[in-house]
């Protein structure tokens, strides 16, 4: 489905923001969504944002240089029952998006898909293509690609978590170590009953991260609400250093929804369990 827009930008150079967003989860799933921009002439500036919509869906929002949305859609993702593929569907942004982003296009409805587009099931190594929109005269012909890799071991990023075990005040709380490593600009873990714990190698604008974590090779220590947490990884946590500071954010209300973060081979399917994840964007986890 193609959408044409007449956007005017006099004398603007082309400056693209992040066009790909990747997440790895310790159940072995790696999901990447990336944009092919076509052959831009350099007259228009676009950036792409990936924002969590619900527990198993995300908004892809395309912003121009005036911070106005020129297009958006919702991507829904679920783990297939056999654990060997992901079901992905792109759907139009509707009332919930408009209520959350009322000024995305200065109060006007943001252009979106005209119907649902099934992109899966996607097995490991498979990619589905989704044509989005064109901007005539500027060489922009945007297409998103959704790629899946299963049984991934880690990835690229400033922070790494592998075979993680967590203790609180010296007591083990995480259970068996997750099967796969994760990495990213941000990493996190989820503890049932205690919520989500998010980590960054530097301060994060607009989010209440605190520089309270210290890393000594494969051990991360931090304190939350007078509880002392120790995270032990089977490999070094920092990419370029044996020791350093890590910024920490705790969301006690965080509970993963949907099933794509769960281990399909768990002895207790459907029950939320400890997991770790890594990503280049907080938008995978936080609204």
Give the count of domains, the chain.
Answer: 2
For residue 230, give its domain range.
159-284
Residues 49 and 145 in one domain: yes
Write down which residue in 91, 123, 149 finishes a domain. 149
* Per-residue model confidence (pLDDT) at position 43: 64
Structural domain ending residue among the three candidates 149, 175, 191: 149
**Whether residues 133 and 230 fall in one domain:** no
Task: Say if residue 87 is in the same domain as residue 174.
Answer: no
Q: Is 242 domain-assigned? A: yes
- Three-state secondary-structure class, residue 242: coil
DSSP per residue, 160-197:
EE-S-EEEETTEE-S-SPPSS-EEESEEEEEETTTEEE
φ, ψ of residue 98 to 5 degrees: the values are -60, -35
Same domain, 196 and 255: yes
Which residue reads 């609204």 in tokens? 287
pLDDT for 42: 67
Q: Which of 210, 204, 287 is nearest to 253 (CA)?
A: 287
Q: Give the per-residue pLDDT at 8.
A: 26
Q: From CA 131, how far away is CA 144, in angstroms rounded?
A: 6
CA–CA gap between residue 80 and residue 88 (Å, rounded): 10
**Same domain, residue pair 121 and 223:** no
pLDDT for 20 equals 84
Q: Are residues 115 and 83 in the same domain?
A: yes
Low-confidence stretches of the chain (pLDDT beneath 50)? 1-18
Q: Is residue 227 part of a domain?
A: yes
Question: For position 261, what pLDDT does the model report?
Answer: 86
Work out the number of other CB atoms within 10 angstroms of the CB of residue 175. Answer: 12
The domain boundary residue, chosen from 149, 171, 194 = 149
Instruction: Please report the pLDDT score of residue 107 as a whole number.
Output: 92
In which residue are the tokens 């880690």 written? 154
Task: Please report whether residue 75 resides in a domain.
Answer: yes
Q: 140 and 179: one domain?
A: no
Within-domain flag for 167: yes
């Amino acid at each position: 489905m193609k959408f044409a827009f007449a956007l005017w930008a006099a004398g603007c150079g082309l400056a693209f923001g992040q066009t790909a967003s990747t997440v790895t989860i310790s159940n072995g799933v790696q999901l990447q969504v990336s944009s092919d921009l076509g052959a831009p002439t350099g007259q228009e500036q676009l950036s792409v944002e990936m924002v969590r919509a619900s527990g198993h869906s995300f908004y892809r929002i395309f912003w121009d240089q005036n911070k106005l949305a020129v297009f958006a859609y919702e991507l829904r993702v679920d783990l297939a029952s056999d654990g060997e593929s992901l079901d992905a569907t792109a759907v139009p942004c509707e009332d919930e998006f408009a209520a959350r982003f009322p000024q995305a296009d200065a109060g006007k409805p943001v252009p979106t898909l005209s119907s649902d587009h099934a992109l899966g099931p996607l097995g490991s190594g498979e990619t589905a293509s989704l044509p989005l929109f064109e901007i005539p005269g500027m060489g922009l012909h945007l297409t998103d690609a959704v790629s899946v890799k299963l049984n991934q071991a880690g990835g690229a990023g400033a922070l790494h978590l592998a075979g993680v075990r967590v203790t609180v005040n010296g007591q083990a709380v995480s259970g068996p170590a997750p099967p796969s490593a994760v990495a990213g600009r941000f990493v996190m873990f989820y503890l049932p009953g205690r919520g989500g714990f998010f980590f960054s190698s530097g301060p994060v604008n607009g989010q209440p991260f605190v520089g309270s974590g210290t890393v000594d090779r494969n051990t991360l220590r931090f304190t939350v609400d007078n509880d002392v947490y120790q995270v032990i990884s089977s490999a070094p946590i920092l990419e370029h250093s044996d020791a350093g500071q890590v910024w920490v954010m705790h969301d006690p209300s965080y509970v993963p929804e949907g099933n794509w973060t769960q281990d399909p081979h768990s002895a207790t399917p459907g029950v939320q369990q400890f997991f770790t994840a890594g990503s280049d964007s907080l938008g995978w986890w936080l609204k």
